[in-house]
Amino acid sequence: MLGERGQVEVIVNPEPPLRWPLWFSNEIGDNEEAAPITEALKVRAHSLHNYIDSNATWDSNADQYRWKHPDNSYEFNSLIQNFAVDLSAELGAKYKIRFVRSSPSSTGYICLKLDK
């Protein structure tokens, strides 16, 4: 599926249990090997998932992840936004990058929402 200007959408979503956080809206899909990005960006993509893995705990009673520290939400947003800017620069104008953000939660649970 192409975006409104004929762009391929790329969604960045490192939410566990996903291991590869990029999804291209064309034949690439979620195939990491086919993703047209450098190895350095692939490593950074994996680090987004690792950030959640390292800074969140699973609450089996609520069936949700919870941040270990309130600042983790803001740190995550900074990491993913910087990644999205670099990904967009590397891929160019043929691609539209969308990514999830962590919304503050009074309960401490991770609430990831896709940008518009």
Q: Consecutive 10-residue runs of the chain (116 residues): their mean pLDDT?
A: 75 88 95 96 95 92 88 94 97 96 81 83
11: left (phi over 0), alpha (psi -120 to 50) or beta: beta
Residue 47 φ/ψ, nearest 5 degrees = -65, -25
Which single residue is written with the structure tokens 């960006």?
41
pLDDT of residue 48: 94
Q: For residue 4, what pLDDT is reported?
A: 61
Q: How high is the pLDDT of residue 111?
A: 85
88: its two tokens: 């967009």
pTM as predicted: 0.89
